[in-house]
Amino acid sequence: MAEMIIDGVAVEFTDEKNILEVVRKAGIELPTFCYHSELSIYGACRMCMVEIDGRGIAASCSTPPETGLVVHTNTPRLQRNRRMVLELLLANHDRDCTTCEKSGACRLQDLAQRMGVRQVRFGHREKMLPIDDSSPAIVRDPNKCILCGDCVRVCSEVQGIGVLDFVNRGSEAEVSPAFGKKLAEVDCVNCGQCASVCPTGALVVRSEIQDVFKAIYDPEKVVVAQIAPAVRVAIGEEFGLKPGEVAMGQMVASLKKMGFNKVYDTSFAADLTVLEETHEFLERVQKGERLPQFTSCCPGWVKYAEQYHPELLPQLSSCRSPQQMFGSVAKRFLAKEMGIDSQELVVVSIMPCTAKKFEAKRPEFSVQAGDGNVPDVDYVLTTQELARMVKEYGLDFNDLEPESLDMPFGLSTGAGMIFGNSGGVAEAVLRAAGEMATGHGSAQVNFSQVRGLDGIREAEVDVAGNKVRLAVVHSLSNVKALLAKLAAGEVAYDLIEVMACPGGCIGGGGQPLPNDTDARLKRRKGLYSVDRQQTLRKSQDNPLLQNLYHRWLEKPGSALAHRTLHTDYGTRRRITGEDISLVANNNDQAKVEVSVCVGTCCYLGGSYSTLQELLRRVKEEGLRDRVDVRATFCLESCAGGPAVKVGEEILSGMDPSNVDKLMAIIKDRLQ
């Protein structure tokens, strides 16, 4: 046990990695913008400055603790410097706070108030950059960015994608996708983790609140809601409740007061997913094909697979996500039950996930109606959006009398409810697999082997006398690591559950802030508590689900069930747009055209270094007038990247070590 002096008080420390954590342990909340315990230390904002005797001012987040240090956290000098930092940030920030999506929940606004910044002695931002609203999930306003780098690091370190980074220098510096592209044009999977860590309104969830209100007020529409499992243990945080407290009854009451005609539970559709996915899994095991089977509930993971690993798409479960299963059943069957046309039924999803907004707009998830198609799910509201909607309507959430969900899609089992946790899908399948395989019931309900918040978890479970090897993985950087081991033959599994966000849906990009480890742990505990309290804990025991099959779907895996509840996916381009010519050659000589892919997958494999070395060699060997070198954004050869196209031939594996081989091919073409 070591000790340091903080503001005159001795404070013990053990495994704290920096002075900031020791200071917070002492009960002093130092302000930060760029510090997140789950991300690498960046030390850019300088808000967490402390004075250390004998050393002067230092950033506490990037300074390790040492025995005997004497630290001061709030000297006049520090207070003056922090206010100056805030003023400088505000000077380069669009200060139209009254209409900002983050107003009232903005870290910059909060600290300016806390630090007593009442005026900014510097001018306003001179140049306003265009707002990027191309994404169905996220709106990016670079004018509100304070260059803290949180979004850059979470996208790269937690998700392993890196669609955002710093560009330019000095006063021109900004955070942007590659080549000034829009979010919809790059490899963004719409997970929303960037918006979860952004301290200002630079990255926010794209709102559909007004569209939903418009539908509610349309007398020709019947509006129904479905509520995802993870929302019930998080929505209360927006109204002063603790993370993990279940507020389902108040949520249902608020939706009905705002004008929703019916409110259902996505957990019912999760039960439906369990039966379809388990049936599919057992068939694959029996045939010994397309294994391991990957879950397909997470749209962020599905898009990641389409972009980076299209070769794995046949191994994804063909099941739609619970959201899309519900929408499909609602538009095809529920509308008939209500005696209305599917065009008159508006399905609104209440989700913890921003990627669900993208998923709902996928063209394959629609139903024929009239002269065209209507989406199975019309609108997606995140947990944050629903809270704002409740506040806008003027409801006192905590004083609402709880109300019950509507039938026939309001009854669900514990298996459907734990879908919101990483490991929940795998456990729900295990609860059903043995019984569906043998036709005999099983007393085992809990499969603790797949529970937890470790990024990658492995388990071997006995199912009907057979050993089933499982992996559970969350956060896409962990997915990347697992897939690399799988490709190298280092590991082997039968079933792999994948969720894009940390902790699964409980940590979705649309959940209340702070969306940190502590909050996720409590939400996780809340969902398992709900599961334990359910009378029915296995999906196959849901009587209303059995009735749905009896009336409409026949049985799990039937042709009708497959048309209604399943889908397929295809490879997806990574970055759309034009080639960029990098060598000026205006003569009339015949040229060899060489295109180096700098899309994210190839870029991460070293294609940028390949491009630099190729340009150097072309110049060094006097071939600038004979070789037209271009950077391109996708050659549709992601699995074998870095990819380079010479003429019409696409070459794989062209990392910097293969530039000699590449030059030989180019010279051969010049002969």
581 is catalytic: no
Q: Which residue in 16, 277, 435, 613 is the catalytic one?
A: 277
Q: What's phi and psi for 341, nearest 5 deg? A: -80, 150
CA distance 583 to 587: 12
Lookup: tokens for 530: 């709900």
Q: Which H or E run includes 543?
A: helix 543-548
CA distance 601 to 581: 20
The dihedrals phi and psi of 204, each to the nearest 5 degrees, come to: -135, 160
How is 108-141 classified by DSSP, letter by letter? HHHHHHHTT-----S---S-PPPPB--SSSEEE-
Instruction: Report whether 107 contacts 31 (CB < 8 A).
Output: no
Measure CA 72 to chain center. Answer: 39
Cα separations (Å) of 235 from 158, 222, 247, 250, 388? Answer: 24, 24, 7, 10, 11
Annotated catalytic residue, options 135, 176, 254, 317: 317
Active site includes 297?
yes
DSSP label at 295? P
Buried-state track 427-437, b at ≥16 Cβ within 10 A, e below 16: bbbbbbbbbbb
364 is catalytic: yes
User: CB neighbours of 667 closer than 8 A, spacing ≥ 6?
Assistant: none
The owner of tokens 């110049």 is: 619
Burial of 243 (0-12, 13-18, 19+ CB in 10 A): buried
Closest CA to 477 of 93, 52, 64, 191: 191
Among 48, 297, 298, 319, the one annotated catalytic: 297
Structure-block tokens of residue 516: 């940190």
User: Do the beta carbons of residue 301 and residue 159 sit within 8 Å?
Assistant: no
Catalytic residue among 311, 364, 460, 554: 364
Please give the torsion angle defined by the CA atoms of residues 433, 438, 439 and 443, in that order, rounded to the nearest 10 degrees. Answer: -60
Q: Which of 48, 97, 505, 634 is catalytic?
A: 505
Q: Rounded to the nearest 10 degrees, what angle do helices 424-438 and 266-287 cross at?
A: 60
Q: Which of 101, 208, 245, 280 is catalytic?
A: 280
Distances (CA, A) of 188 to 177, 337, 359: 9, 39, 13
* Catalytic site includes residue 359: yes
Q: Any idea which residue has 């003429």 for tokens?
A: 647
For residue 418, what are its two tokens?
Answer: 């734990």
DSSP summary character for residue 591: -
Which position among 144, 262, 356, 645 bears the catalytic label?
Answer: 356
Q: Is 61 a catalytic residue?
A: no
β 165-167/174-176 pair status: antiparallel
- CB atoms closer than 10 angstroms to residue 109: 20
Whether 369 and 343 have beta carbons less than 8 Å apart is answered as yes
Calculated CA dihedral for residues 142, 146, 150, 153, nearest 10 degrees: 70
Instruction: Report the relative pairing of strands 9-13 and 2-6 from DSSP bridges.
Output: antiparallel
Respond yes or no: is residue 280 known to be catalytic.
yes
The yes-or-no answer on residue 385 being catalytic is: no
Point out the catalytic residue in the list 359, 427, 497, 613. 359
For residue 648, indicate whether it is catalytic: no
The set of residues, in sequence order, having a beta carbon less than 8 Å from that of 671 and lying 6+ positions away, is: none
E-assigned strands of 422-539?
456-463, 466-474, 495-499
DSSP bridge pairs for 495: 293, 470
Q: Which active-site residues does the annotation give?
A: 277, 280, 297, 317, 356, 359, 364, 505
